[in-house]
Amino acid sequence: MKRIAFFDTKPYDRIWFDEYNDGRYELVYFEGKLNHHSAKVTADFDGVCAFVNDEVDAKTIDILEKNNVGILAMRSAGFSNVDLKAAKDRIKVVRVPAYSPYAVAEHAMGLLLTVNRKLARAVSRTRDFNFSINGLMGVDLYGKTVGVIGTGIIGRVFINICRGFGMKVIAYDPYPVKDSEIEYVDLDTLFEKSDVISLHCPLTESSYHILNEQAFAKMKKNVFIINTSRGSLIDTAALLDALNSERVRGAALDVYEEETDLFFEDMSGTLIKDDTLTLLISNPNVVLTSHQAFLTEEALQAIARKTLDNFDDYFNGKPLENEVAYKK
């Protein structure tokens, strides 16, 4: 029986993998993240499964290859934490390209509603029997313009949700969807016209810090920023400056640039030495969740099924339809 090492696993990961595995593989779960230190435990494994904050760099790839691990399966759509160049011709890398776009898109709208209508603050007040509504005013979303950056499956689901709220939608994507009803514009136009900007694009060299100091300077005053994709799409220092200058009315984030050693962990008893994160969390116009946009039953079920299917294809010598490979 083939043995698979799962890294950075939590109880909610195991539920559906154990159910859908059905005795196909021996699944061994490790709570720690995959990196060039922990990769040493893979000597007796045939495959490895990793998540978004694991560090699959060249050193890690070297160790996996030395241990005769032939496949790395990402149980996520994103793979920006994998050195594909180092993996080329040495280890197969697969992913789950789509699990539940509704989970992420719905969370994005939930974040927008929370930061706009100050729901977290309102709930905190009423728990203390403070029923004042002073300082809780928001704006109507109806009639506002939302700029969607990235019109993949998740972006398009989010667009449909926004249309249901009566919002006008404009979008930017270097690869527009053909024959769609989406109104595409260039980035500068999107910055200038949007009341809400929501990020739904992958992290690449070209999208790194796509929202930077120059971008914020072009935006309409009192814009809302939503990010459920990758933290490094936003220059966090520039976002803080834009919040302080009131260029940005509010930011709703499910991801953070330096989240790797923090998110998915209980850090409540730890001194956090990240001053930027502390400033974000303490800002009354910021709502931050810890990379939970994907976390629905339906999404976890789909991730488990597709990841196990990816392993099946590899070990049975079938084409890897979900392979990601290095491209110059």
**For this structure, is 291 an active site residue?**
yes
Q: How buried is 99 (Cβ within 10 angstroms: 0-12 exposed, 13-18 middle, 19+ buried)?
A: buried
**For this structure, is 90 an active site residue?**
no
Backbone angles phi, psi at 155, to 5 degrees: -60, -40
Q: C-alpha 139: how far from its chain's center? A: 27
**For this structure, is 200 an active site residue?**
no
CB-based contacts of 92, cutoff 8 Å, min separation 6: 70, 71, 72, 314, 320, 323
Q: Under a CB-based contact definition with an 8 Å cutoff, are residues 197 and 73 in contact?
A: no
Q: Under a CB-based contact definition with an 8 Å cutoff, are residues 41 and 64 in contact?
A: no
Distance, CA of 210 to CA of 227 (rounded, Å) = 12
Q: How buried is 9 (Cβ within 10 angstroms: 0-12 exposed, 13-18 middle, 19+ buried)?
A: buried
Catalytic residue among 75, 107, 230, 249: 230
Give catalytic residue positions: 230, 259, 291
